[in-house]
Amino acid sequence: MLWLILLLIGVAIIGFRVYSNKRRKKSSILIIPNRPSSPSKPSIGEASAGRKAMTVLYGTQSGNALGFAEEIAGEAKRYGFSCKVIDIEEYDTNQLQFEDFVVLFLATYGEGAPTDSAIDFTEWLMDPSREEEGSFDSIQYCVLGLGSKQYELFAEQGKRIDKRLNQLGAIRVMELGITDDDGNLDDDWMNYKKEFWPTVQKHFGIIADKKSEVATFDPQYRIVFHKHGDENKIEDGPPLRKQSSHVHEASEAFVLVNRELRQTSDGVESSRHIEIELKGGRYQTADNLGIYPRNNFALVGRLAKRLEVNLQDIFSLIPLSANGRKSPIPPETSVHNALLWYVDLQAIPKRSLFSILSVFAENDTEKRILAGVGSGSEEFHEYYNRSYHGHRLTIVDVLEKYKSVHIPFEVILEILPPIVPRYYTISSSALANPTTIHLTLTVVREKIQNGNVWEGMCTKYLASLEPMKTTLRVFVRESTFRLPKLSVPIIMIAAGAGIAPMRAFIQECVHLKSEGKNVGSLDLYFGIRNRNHDFIYKDEIETAVEVGILNRLTLACSREQEEKVYVQHRLQEDSKYLYEMLMERNSYIYVCGGASMGKECREVFKLAISKYGGMNHDEAGIRLNSLMNQGRYIQELWS
């Protein structure tokens, strides 16, 4: 009898394995909308027989490079590649010499700097000792640089790494690609991708398959709902601990003050002064404060209703492979918390998202439209720009419009971009206000083509915070703005909320002077619209002039006369004075505002150096870049 029992057990085990393998095979090929994925499905990052291995590294600040990396990974299988995606911050540089094909998506932060996550990798790669190792000859690579043409050093990080890899002997598979965030980022990306796949397929001898043109989607996660969540494990609110380059160590800060700064407000335009309590932490004057924003409650409710999920349900998102991408949300949380704090519902959907939605569309007409938009075809190009970019529609708007799309909740969490922290330059002096941090911001509101008003996620959230009742999660990040020696003259140039670090400097100098210390002269060029409407911190600035802290105050009021006058125009009027201050009195220049304003200001200084320094325009540009490298011309700009 014993042998018979053992035989039956063996047959059962073999039968289970055969059944399990059949399920595994099926789940790796088919996508069944609205059903959980099989946990035994292999990750898209695992090497597969007959597919070329590809490693994608990304360095991102806003999330765009991550989105591109994941899109390439999602398409890799149907183009003949097996792909793994790694945050460059978490990449083991010792592995690079063993890579056969590596693709790098690298954003540039500010004026030519690597993103926070790419600093260590960049320093390692640029180290002269790399040239002695001779271990790059077998590496084949592509680089895509992300940036904005408003900056002098446009997409510099991508250019830097592409050039360095080539210098070290690595083989460039495709010429450096560039995307411009100041132009049409999505068009740039679609054009790059159209060239990317045929180029790499040809390089590696992979025969193009017409089936690869059909949109597919391979999920990386499965979802598990918990009937009774463990209260000790459930996480609520935005991140507190570091999980990746997107998720920094944060702390809760109590809101003390939140008030309107403008003298008059029409209900659309608004500037806010916010003060938060700093518990147990420290900052330096003009540091940056990182803030985790959240989605709009109404938007979260609409999406939950459309997906037919309960906001109170507790769940976990489980990677289908041990080598797959980390879960973008906490190990155990509620549907409400995940949608509120972790995925960006307000971002304009990229074309690639439409391709994925087409996979889950059951109506043929809707499937055709979604696939057409996703492919970037001429037929749907104008339709996408007009309907989605022009009206700033969200993923929620799209799903409500295309009702036949039945997409699983876990797929939505996977394909939406993460909410990344927003950074604001602190507008208080650490000496004068050691236990509080002040913020200055313009609430982003924009009238769009359909007549509605679009509001920025973070500034809307911050404007809504009630003093003495609410907290937010924040962290301090070091800034490039630092006061020089007290005796050195300083020229400050700001527009709008760019006054933040300049106010901090003025506060600091007032504090130092009250202690009997000498401070250098401060000049302020400040761009506003109307001195009776949006001259923010008017009383503080005028007092600084009266007590001798500000040597010169020059306003550029763009709407007080028929012809618009911006801060760069005031600089041009004083170009000889500015040249003398910069080149003869060794002044430090600080610029804070929009990237386009910063670009115009640089041009004014180039022209001044050229005119009064006896140089041609190119030579003047080189001289200004040298001053920037010395830390004497410092910018904090935003796009």
Give pLDDT, residue 12.
36
Calculate mean pLDDT across residues 227-236: 64
- Assign 432 a pLDDT band (cuts: 50, 70, 90): very high
The answer to whether the beta carbons of residues 96 and 168 sit under 8 Å apart is no
Distance, CA of 461 to CA of 438 (rounded, Å): 16
Distance, CA of 108 to CA of 255 (rounded, Å): 32
Q: Is the dihedral of CA 58, 61, 65, 71 positive or negative?
A: positive
Strands 177-180 and 140-147: parallel
**R_g of the chain computed on alpha carbons:** 27
Distance, CA of 308 to CA of 232 (rounded, Å): 27
Amino acid at 255: V
Cα separation values, 534 from 257, 382, 394, 397, Å? 19, 37, 31, 34
pLDDT for 405-421, tens place per residue?
999 999 999 999 999 89
Cα separation values, 520 from 427, 505, 549, Å? 20, 11, 9
Give pLDDT, residue 230.
61
Amino acid at 581: M
Calculate mean pLDDT across residues 380-389: 73
Distance, CA of 445 to CA of 286 (rounded, Å): 26
Structure tokens at 246: 């997107």
Give pLDDT, residue 215.
72
pLDDT for 570-613, tens place per residue?
999 999 999 999 999 999 999 999 989 999 999 999 999 999 99
Q: Which residue stretches of 308-423 are H helix? A: 335-341, 351-359, 364-375, 378-384, 395-401, 409-415
Calculate mean pLDDT across residues 519-534: 94
Closest CA to 144 of 67, 89, 76: 67
Burial of 297 (0-12, 13-18, 19+ CB in 10 A): exposed
Domains along the sequence of the chain with CATH: 52-212 (3.40.50.360), 247-292+421-479 (2.40.30.10), 294-418 (1.20.990.10), 490-638 (3.40.50.80)
Residue 127, phi then psi, degrees to nearest 5: -60, 130
Give pLDDT, residue 234.
62
Structure tokens at 2: 């014993």
pLDDT for 177-224, tens place per residue?
999 988 788 889 999 999 999 999 999 999 877 666 667 788 889 999
Calculate mean pLDDT across residues 449-470: 90
Calculate mean pLDDT across residues 257-263: 95
Distance, CA of 554 to CA of 573 (rounded, Å): 11
Exposure of 261 in the CB half-sphere (CA atoms within 13 A):
28
The answer to whether the beta carbons of residues 37 and 27 sit under 8 Å apart is yes
The answer to whether the beta carbons of residues 623 and 152 sit under 8 Å apart is no
Dihedral over alpha carbons 622, 185, 268, 383 (to 10 degrees): 150
Residue 319, phi then psi, degrees to nearest 5: -60, 140
